[in-house]
Structure 1
Amino acid sequence: MPHPIINLDQLALQDLPPQYAATGPAAERFAPRMAMIGELIGMRALGCNLTVLAPGKRAFPFHNHRVNEEVFIVVEGCGTIRIGAASYPLRQGDIVACPAGGQETAHQIINTGEVELRYLALSTNKSPEVVEFPDSGKYATLLLDAGGGANTLPQRTVGHIGQSVDYWEGE
């Protein structure tokens, strides 16, 4: 069992792995640096990370989870969170609930401040997961590893909502 305690100042921030990092024009808007915490301290059913955003950046596209819940705790800085059709200001000490659900629960954090925005993201790690992206009309299905590891996604499929292959194709 790993040591169950770690301090935020002990974490090493990293860019997203190349297979998940934004490319092209999206790279101008999406540039999170993250430290995965959950696995370091032995969590199995909960994911936890520290996410750091430079001014003007977002971590991920506007999205909702059909299976997993998330909570965000702002550690430092300020920004805005979009939830459904509304936007709310964020500041140090704020705690934000993002339950599983439809597009009314879609969320996205944006650093609208002038300094880095740092927040803890905690989530359940249920698998399989379905994520929708209302701004782009896409969806993703994810199969997490047995421990719910966020760093290892053995299966990820991304497509456009309403487009699929026939069930019997290739049979």
Structure 2
Amino acid sequence: MTKMQKPVINPAELDLEHWQEGTFFESRDAAFGAQLGLKDLGIGYGEVPPGKSGCPFHNHHIEEELFVILSGEGEYRFGPDRYPVKPGDVLGAPAGGPETAHHLINTGTVPLTYLSISANAKAEIVEYPDSGKFLAKSRATPGGKAVFRFVGRKESETDYWDGEPGI
């Protein structure tokens, strides 16, 4: 875990990582909770270009999330609904099933910037309703790197006893 540098960070000072997947997913972002000395609370800053999203539509079984829109305009897809968002809006994403699935889409003409705040559970299950995938992960410490991470689909499930000696 990163050692706390100081208890104040301005997002303009963050070293952002740019990534892109396909034609719809793209962001410049940084996670910086550990830099603030936080262990059980994650915080990130994201900049999403117009017409893009920073993550697939997903729901968490354990971790709750909160988003604060800083600039730009977008659409918050939450469960079956869509909500317009603008600077100052605060968005909740409670833990739960597909009815709490969510993601942000930049519908404006300038980057959509936001803070994301979440619990940093030691274990998590995430579902991706649009693609039928799930993610199972665990961490050695809250907020730490994943020590176990698996992305799969329910149809690849095996029997509990499959491959065990004597079966």
TM-score when normalising by structure 1: 0.89
- Residue number in structure 2 paired with 1:93: 88
Distance in 1 of aligned mates of 2:62 and 2:33: 19
Distance in 2 of aligned mates of 1:112 and 1:104: 23
**Residues 39-81 of structure 1 deviation map (CA, whole Å, 9 limit, x = unaligned):** 1111100000001100011111100000000000001111001
Amino acid across the alignment from 1:167: Y
Aligned counterpart for 2:147 among listed residues 134, 151, 154: 154
Q: Does 1:7 align with 2:7?
A: no
Higher strand share: 2
Total equivalences in the alignment: 161
Distance in 1 of aligned mates of 2:100 and 2:114: 19
Gaps of 5+ in 1: none
- Residue number in structure 1 paired with 2:133: 138
**Residues 13-62 of structure 1 deviation map (CA, whole Å, 9 limit, x = unaligned):** 1125xxxx63xxxx211111111110111110000000110001111110
Indicate the SS of the match to 1:113: coil
Contact 2:75 2:83 in 1 (8 A): yes
Indicate the SS of the match to 2:36: coil
Identity percentage over the alignment? 42
TM-score when normalising by structure 2: 0.91
Distance in 1 of aligned mates of 2:78 and 2:141: 30
Q: Which has the larger radius of gyration?
A: 2
Aligned counterpart for 1:103 among listed residues 98, 101, 109: 98
Distance in 2 of aligned mates of 1:15 and 1:9: 15
- Residue number in structure 2 paired with 1:166: 159
Contact 2:59 2:98 in 1 (8 A): yes
- Residue number in structure 2 paired with 1:36: 31
Deviation at 1:169, TM superposition (A): 1.9
Aligned alpha-carbon RMSD (Å): 1.3
- Residue number in structure 2 paired with 1:80: 75
Gaps of 5+ in 2: none
Contact 2:135 2:149 in 1 (8 A): yes
Amino acid across the alignment from 1:120: L
Deviation at 1:161, TM superposition (A): 2.4
Contact 2:47 2:111 in 1 (8 A): yes
